[in-house]
Chains A and B, each alone.
Chain A
Amino acid sequence: MELNALDQEFMYSGHVGCPGCGAAIAMRFFLKALGDKTIMVMPACCWSVIAGPYPQSALKIPLIHSAFETGGAVASGVRAALDMKGDKETTVVTWAGDGGTFDIGFQALSGAVERNENFIYVCYDNEAYMNTGIQRSSSTPYGAWTTTTPGADWKKLRKKNIVEALVAHRIPYAATANIAFPEDLVRKAQKAKAIKGSRFIHVYASCPTGWRIPSEMSIKIARMAVQTNIFPLYEVEDGLRYTINYKPKEYLVREYFKLQGRFRHLTDKDLDQIQEMVNEDWELLLRKAGEHT
């Protein structure tokens, strides 16, 4: 598959992401879609480090690092300033991890989208506080090991459904995306770019280091997440219209779990239970999309 006009790169080699880093792949695709008239706000996350140490930077676009919980707020300020300067071309994007989106950054995000601030918020989700050493976040999925949910205390709480939380704010555009589906991701990024108001994209970004998977499996596992309905690809417009973008092969969830070290401790019984939970969520999504089974 040729990306044609999207052959330009807005990122440099030499960044310090782990080998096989899904977040690096996600950034690369998004930048291709958004182009060089973009200003990026980056609260504390893995990418704060991946971007390289001063005086280097791995990005070709202007970037402002910000405090952990301020992704939504700093972007609001940047946008306001650009508006006052009469800039109608530049897109403001917040690039945050799951920590800075689901947890500590949730307030600023909710505030910003409630005001329908004109920016794109991209959360690249590696499902834990990876930058600080794999601690659990509210985005960590049910069943996962992390350093703060070790051993028998593996996370027995569901992953927070961030997209639904934002859909409840009735923002113009919310979508999920996945690094194993680049065309879908790029399409959504470009679609978001053309919409005014608050736009949110939740990107699945594999983490070989934190998930205990071999680095070469990042894409395969990302794809599996979609194929098992664990991370469906869908869009919601104006908080009302759901569109499921991809009809997955509906593999059993255990195919996904068994590939990852962070789930190694789960028993068949646990996996059965998880399968039911995933089925339930998928059914719910189908109903919202008006596609009953």
Chain B
Amino acid sequence: MKRVLEGSHAVAEAVRLAKVQVISAYPITPQTHIVEILSDYCSTGKLKARFLRVESEHSALAALIGAQSSGVRTFTATSSQGLALMHELLHWSSGARLPIVMAEVNRALGPGWNIWMDQTDSLAQRDTGWIQFYCEDGQEVLDTTLQAYRLAEEVNLPVMVVLDAFFLSHTYEPVDIPDEKDVDRFLPPFAPKFQLDTANPCSFGQLVTPAFYMEMRHDIDRAMDMALVRFGEIEEEYARIFKRRYGAVEAIQCDDADIILLTSGTVTSTCRLVLKALRDRGEKVGILKVKLFRPTPAEQIRGALKSAKKVAVIDRNCSFGAGGIFAQEVRAALCNLPGHPLVYGYIAGIGGRDVTPELLEEIYWKTKNSEVPEKESVWMGLQEVAHGTQRS
């Protein structure tokens, strides 16, 4: 059934369809609509779940760790500061092999309080063992959330479904809400591989000595490898039922492109317009949208980029001292490929600053017109403003 929904609502619909049993969340702009809708659903009985109104994000994830360990399907959502606060427990969730699913609304980190779009928060958690999906529109958010539960529960790793603050979370778009019966076919009830059970008592998370720890960590890494494979299969299954597919990456006109723009999130939508405009002017340009960030779909990235001469990575984030994070990951994926394209890193759209079609074109021309990248990542769209600190 098609409805016009904002991104937050699409998340909530997916959670409802997934028949999640315990939700625990702490409000933070711009995630608030997700939890408010879900709170309403729980209250009216539209969703039969316990909603724990915890007192912080850290406790929200802690509560889910407890709940998931007890054998029920769970959900939380957060953003920026909240995600950062959860950091310790993000590691814990994956280490505990719990299939928790979280909606993460990319938002800038303070100080200066900034509630707008920035990818640094979720990317800063890339080492925590969570599977990460970056979504472009409302439909994708809904579909990905449902697929997240399947994937998480199969490989026993937690999954983060990431959406842009405001650009996605608060933007209304037409979204097709699948039929409950179809979703039930795709996503059966949670069958825990282990749970706290007085009939079968066991201790979870006991102290582990060097003799055993390494193998457990290796298992997580293997699970990530498995996730890469299983995601493709799960997407196929989803496509058969719901006729929609996105891919770990989406290569748009990359085969004959000299320069490929690498994007993620809503920037991709803007980029599609720029692509058409440039192509109309005869430029050999392509787009590689990266949806699955963790595990890194290195093969597919290499496959899409190998024939291009240059890749311009648009990072709406920055790892200070090392540049844009997508750019680093792409370089890492390409470095052993003989004759791989040059990687130009660009940082833009930080803290909600708009990434306009003009800016994207500027990035294209800058890339085309420089022989080599001037540095790891170039900041684009900076203004001459007095803001009280030294401008570098």
Q: List chain A positions with a Cβ less than 8 A from chain B.
A: 36-39, 41, 48-49, 51-57, 59-67, 69-70, 72-85, 89-90, 107-108, 110-112, 114-115
Contacts and interface: CB of A to CB of B under 8 A. Distances in A.
Contacts of B392: none
Given A57-B203, A65-B203, A85-B70, A80 B63 contact: yes
Given A81-B22, A107-B55, A41 B66 contact: yes
B207 A77 contact: no
Given A64-B203, A111-B55, 14 more contacts: A39-B70, A53-B209, A54-B208, A57-B206, A66-B92, A72-B59, A73-B63, A77-B52, A77-B65, A78-B69, A80-B24, A81-B21, A84-B21, A112-B59
Given A64-B69, A80-B52, A81-B22, A108 B205 contact: no
Nearest to A39: B196
B52 to A, nearest CB: 5
B126 interface: no
Contact of B22 (A51, A60, A77, A114): A77
A62 B198 contact: yes
Contacts of A48: 207
Contact of A73 (B62, B70, B71, B198): B62
Nearest to A56: B206
A28 to B, nearest CB: 16
23 contacts: A38-B198, A51-B206, A55-B212, A56-B206, A57-B206, A62-B196, A62-B201, A67-B88, A67-B89, A74-B66, A76-B24, A77-B62, A77-B67, A78-B66, A78-B67, A78-B69, A80-B24, A80-B63, A80-B72, A81-B71, A108-B58, A110-B55, A114-B55
Nearest to B22: A80
B124 interface: no
Contacts of B152: none
Given A74-B66, A77-B62, A51 B56 contact: no
Contacts of B205: 64-66
B191 interface: no
A61 B161 CA distance: 35
Contacts of A36: 198, 201
A111 B54 contact: yes
Contact of B203 (A62, A67, A75, A83): A62
A167 to B, nearest CB: 19
A153 B54 CA distance: 38
A81 B62 contact: no
B149 to A, nearest CB: 16
